[in-house]
Amino acid sequence: MAYPWLKAIHVFFVISWFAGLFYLPRIYVNLAEVSDTAGAEYERLLGMARRLKRFMMPLMLGTWIFGLAITFTLAGPGMWWSQPWLHAKLLLVLCLTAYDGYCSVLLRQFRERQNRRSHVWFRWFNEVPVLFLLGILILVIVRPF
């Protein structure tokens, strides 16, 4: 009975975290296009990025907590841990967590007016979560191995 509830809550946190992962780099694109001497516009975008990043932390933690809870509650210990697709998924989620952490580094660089990357770089950076999402969905739904 616990599994469907844990899965629903996990999916909620995943969707919410990904919404932030899709939008935060888009704000970085806009920040990179605006001069840091632009004053009000730069500060507005910086404030949006800061608030969004702060909001994303509990979403990431909820994703991890409920995702791990699923693996420990379903059909006895060890059932999922022996599945190669789960190992691959966890690796992608770890990489996605590192991506989230790197977003914090980039935010600090914007806050300290030390960004040296172009808006084009951030447009490509913005696509990374899409690739993670595709990989994770294939692993969870198709389970190719």
| Cβ(20)–Cβ(48) below 8 Å | no
Average pLDDT of 114-139?
98
Decide which of 3 and 100 is more confident: 100
Per the CB < 8 A criterion, the answer to whether 120 and 29 are in contact is no
Asked if pLDDT for residue 77 goes beyond 70, the answer is no
Residue stretches of the annotated binding site for heme = 10, 89
**More confident: 3 or 127:** 127
Annotated binding site: 10, 89
Spell out the domain ranges in the chain.
2-142
- The one-character DSSP state at 76 is S
How far separated are the first and last CA of the chain, in Å rounded? 27
pLDDT average, residue stretch 90-116? 97
Confidence of residue 83 (pLDDT cuts 50, 70, 90): confident
Indicate whether this model's pTM tops 0.75. Answer: yes
